[in-house]
């Protein structure tokens, strides 16, 4: 699946992908009231800057509230492990968005 992009709303798949890369759930400081704000993943060796670590429960609660989907790659074109991901609105997923996980063009 080198270079292929997938999209999912499956919490287990998202957490597996992140943990395989050593990433932890995070939120941008100052962007939320009464809970986490803008969601991110914090990878090892990157500056946390304005990010604060949150737990997976808080991450997925916000993920569902905002009706997000996780767009990602497992591998780059040359076969290396990819860190590429985006959190997108589910409405942007398009046809077939009722599936929990699928490959996108």
Q: Please check whether residue 28 lies inside any domain of the structure.
A: yes
59-87 pLDDT, tens digit each = 999 999 999 999 999 999 999 999 999 99
Burial class (CB in 10 A: 0-12, 13-18, 19+), 44: exposed
Q: Please check whether residue 33 lies inside any domain of the structure.
A: yes
Q: Please check whether residue 12 lies inside any domain of the structure.
A: yes
Q: Please check whether residue 38 lies inside any domain of the structure.
A: yes
pTM flag (> 0.85): no
Q: Please check whether residue 102 lies inside any domain of the structure.
A: no
Low-confidence ranges of the chain (pLDDT < 70): 1-2, 31-36, 94-105
Burial class (CB in 10 A: 0-12, 13-18, 19+), 87: middle
Residue 13, C-beta contacts closer than 8 angstroms, at least 6 positions apart: 70, 100, 101
Q: Please check whether residue 52 lies inside any domain of the structure.
A: yes
* Distance of alpha carbon 42 from alpha carbon 47, whole angstroms: 8
Q: Where in the sequence is the domain holding 58, given as residue range(s)?
A: 5-96
Q: Please check whether residue 101 lies inside any domain of the structure.
A: no
Q: Please check whether residue 19 lies inside any domain of the structure.
A: yes
């Amino acid at each position: 699946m080198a270079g292929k992009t997938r999209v999912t709303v499956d919490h287990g798949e998202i957490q597996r992908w992140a943990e395989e890369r050593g990433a932890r759930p995070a939120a941008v400081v100052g962007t939320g009231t009464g809970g986490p704000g803008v969601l991110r993943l914090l990878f090892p060796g990157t500056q946390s800057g304005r990010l604060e670590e949150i737990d997976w429960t808080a991450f997925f609660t916000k993920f569902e509230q905002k009706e997000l989907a996780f767009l990602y790659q497992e591998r780059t074109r040359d076969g290396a492990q990819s860190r590429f991901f985006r959190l997108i609105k589910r409405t942007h997923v398009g046809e077939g968005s009722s599936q929990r996980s699928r490959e996108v063009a």
